[in-house]
Structure 1
Amino acid sequence: MEHMNFVASDFNVFKIDGLDQRMDALKDRIQPKLQRLGKHFSQELSSKTGDEMFMHVAKHARRTINPPNDTWVAFARNSRGYKMMPHFQIGLWETHIFVWFAVIYEAQGKTDFGKVLEQNAEKVKEIIPNHFVWSIDHTKPDIIPHEGLSVQELKTMFQRLQTVKKAEILCGIQVPREDAIKISNDGFVTLISNAFDHLIPLYKFS
């Protein structure tokens, strides 16, 4: 199996100053791995969800000054884009790796999805493992551990998705850099695969 796991030098790309310099390093070092992850998991997610899933490696094309703090490959049932629909992501910051199911601020049908989640909050509390985390803003590394959340707190997050225009909801796992660099290639693929298994029920709600 080709290398898809991340090593220490991959995380250090985010220490490089300057937009062009960091983008060059991302293209050289990170994007080939994201492409391989994309190829592998677009097939796996297609068979697991029953929808044909297309991969989208982040291009960071809108950036003109600030270099990106994170990068990813996303999976959605649209070959042209992913931001407008519920999707999956695998990516990294300087400090950690993430695997997400995501509905971000551009997503259509966000209000309806928020309602379905709110109605199924008790089920969501049960099906998501305790070590998983939530985020309400994909541009920040801040997370809310699932373990400590009550059903009512989940409902509040899901209500926010219905009422706040810029609201987002992401659920998944984060692996700290120091742990990530110890994971073998096969172990990394299994870790992502298992995470997606737990996140697919959320996708089905959408």
Structure 2
Amino acid sequence: MNFPGFTEEDFNVFKIDGLDARMDQLIKHIRPKLDYLGNYFAPTLSALTGDEMFPHVAKHARRTINPPNDTWVAFANNKRGYKMLPHFQIGLWETHLFVWFALIYEAPNKIEYGKTLEKNITNIRKSIPPHFVWSADHTKPEAMIMGDLSDEELLALFHRLQTVKKAEILCGLHIPRNEAITMDGEEIISRLNDTFQYLIPLYKMS
């Protein structure tokens, strides 16, 4: 199949009440698209990073009551998991499509990575586009726009990664749902591909 893009129906899955009902529709509508993107981008990211990358589609298997508010496919250089490793994600909240480079709370090398980011702030400022976004928590939909952040605010994010046990760092792109649903599959693939090109240096620093 060619990638069909995302629809209003996909984003509305996150409005469905109840774990079973929401998961049923998520599995039916969104997961095949995440599977497709996982298989499509794993070879691309392997070539860009120099590491063999494996796709991991979120299964939300530990949930017993609360339905998921977002879902994703992650890419890491390990077949068994991604949470402890620097990785990439493509996914959906009800409000937007996201593409991330991420180092989340389970990664053991956060202190070293935070120091590396601090040392490279000038290069990061030059290489990450101003409309890209940063987040310190992968469980929340909000993010900070690169162009709105001062060097001091960026450095505070990098410092927090070194000092707070649960700290995380994510950088990437949000595409609002209203825009995402107007894009065809080819346009989405192209935008995701462009985004990864900008994020690869952050991966290599890790």
- Scaled by the length of structure 1, what TM-score is found? 0.98
CA distance in 1, matches of 2:3, 2:40: 11
**Post-superposition shift, 1:152?**
2.1
CA distance in 1, matches of 2:12, 2:142: 20
Look up the match of 2:165: 165
Look up the match of 2:33: 33
21 and 47 in structure 1: CA distance in 2 versus 1, 3 angstrom threshold: same
CA distance in 1, matches of 2:4, 2:115: 37
Letter in 2 for 1:150: S
Look up the match of 2:11: 11
Q: Structure 1 residue 189 and structure 2 residue 189: aligned?
A: yes
Look up the match of 2:110: 110
**Post-superposition shift, 1:3?**
2.0
Look up the match of 1:56: 56
Which stretch of structure 1 is more off in the superposition, 69-78 or 20-29?
A: 20-29
Look up the match of 1:143: 143
**Post-superposition shift, 1:4?**
4.6
128 and 41 in structure 1: CA distance in 2 versus 1, 3 angstrom threshold: same
Moved over 3 A (4+): none
Question: In the alignment, is the contact (CA less than 8 A) between 1:4 and 1:36 conserved in 2?
Answer: no
Question: In the alignment, is the contact (CA less than 8 A) between 2:4 and 2:184 conserved in 1?
Answer: no
**Post-superposition shift, 1:148?**
1.4
Look up the match of 1:128: 128
Superposed CA deviations along residues 40-98 of structure 1, whole A, max 9, x for unmatched, are 00011001111000000001111110000000000000100000011000000111100
SS at match of 1:187: helix
**Paired-residue identity, %:** 62
Question: In the alignment, is the contact (CA less than 8 A) between 1:76 and 1:82 conserved in 2?
Answer: yes
SS at match of 1:147: helix
SS at match of 2:189: helix
SS at match of 2:85: coil
Superposed CA deviations along residues 16-55 of structure 1, whole A, max 9, x for unmatched, are 1110111111111111000000000001100111100000
- Unmatched runs of 5 consecutive residues or more in structure 1: none
**Post-superposition shift, 1:151?**
1.9
Superposed CA deviations along residues 110-169 of structure 1, whole A, max 9, x for unmatched, are 111111001111111111001100011110111111001122221111010000000000
CA distance in 2, matches of 1:148, 1:15: 31
Letter in 1 for 2:48: K
Look up the match of 1:152: 152
CA distance in 2, matches of 1:89, 1:111: 22
